Amino acid sequence: MAAMTMPRRRPGRPRREETRPTRELVLTVATRLFAERGFDAVGLRDVAAAAGVDVATVSHHTGTKAQLYDACFARVFAAERQVLEAAAERARSALPAGPEAARRALHDLVDVFVDFLEDRPETTALWLRRWLEPHRHAELDERYAAPLYRLVAELLTAAAAAGTLVEPTPHITVRSLVWAVHGHVVALAAASSGARERREFRMFVHRFLDGLYGPAGS
């Protein structure tokens, strides 16, 4: 009996599962372009050219430019929320163990946030471009920044209610830490020694938290 042979694929035509999903590719490219240039300086044709697809494909997967911009923020928000929710839950579970355990858990929570932005510096660049014009696209803040701010602020409020730490203005603390980490990511891009910058920043953030919530402030 003759052996069965599989039909040969034409060269240059990879199997679909070997290719990157088109929408993910478009969002990755668009995020980078919006982060580099801002909203006004990027068109759908720019995104299509950088992604190696046509404009109709970009529109099919993401809609208008405004919808594409929104989708870029939604994408980074979903990834950030996944890691922060898990870290915040671990920190919340540490609260009954007392102030020292709570501070260690807060160290871990901030480290998770720093890790996330160090690994995805385009997230910082995307937000900084957005914040250069604070009154434009302000709805993005409410959808994709405020929920994570509230997540951590509510954790600090719960810790204060449990008597684990003293925190009269959790929203200010969270905002200050977020801006510090974004600033670190910008500095890291220009640092001649990235390893040193990473190490010193983490030491600073831990000292900052210990100064706020250590024994002297309890």
Q: What is the pLDDT of residues 92-131, one digit of tens each?
A: 999 889 999 999 999 999 999 999 999 999 999 999 999 9
Q: What is the mean pLDDT of residues 202-213?
A: 94
The Cα-based distances of 161 to 43, 62, 74, 99, 158 in angstroms read: 49, 44, 32, 12, 5
Instruction: Give the pair of three-digit tokens for residue 21.
Output: 């999903």
Angstrom distance (rounded) from CA 204 to CA 199: 9
In angstroms, rounded to a whole number, what is the distance separating the alpha carbons of residues 205 and 214? 13
Contact partners, residue 20, CB within 8 Å, separation at least 6: none
Question: Which H helix or E strand runs over 95?
Answer: none
CATH of 73-217, one of 1.10.287, 1.10.357, 1.25.40, 2.60.40: 1.10.357
Domain 19-63 in CATH 3.30.300.210? The answer is no
Please give the average per-residue pLDDT across 61-72, as a whole number.
Answer: 96
- The DSSP letter of residue 132 is T
| Nearest of 124, 214, 101, 202 to residue 167 by alpha carbon | 214
Q: Could you give the CA distance from residue 130 to residue 38 in angstroms, rounded to a whole number?
A: 7
Q: What integer best gives the mean pLDDT of the chain?
A: 89
| pLDDT tens column, 168-190 | 999 999 999 999 999 999 999 88
In this prediction the pTM is 0.85
Higher pLDDT, 12 or 177: 177
Instruction: Kindly tell me the sign of the dihedral angle through the C-alpha atoms of 95, 84, 131, 177.
Output: positive
Retrieve residue 105's tokens: 């858990």
Asked if pLDDT for residue 1 goes beyond 60, the answer is: no
Q: Which residue ranges make up each domain of the chain?
A: 19-63, 73-217
Residue 20 pLDDT level (bands cut at 50, 70, 90) = low
Contact 120, 76 (CB under 8 A): yes
Fold match, 19-63 / 73-217: no
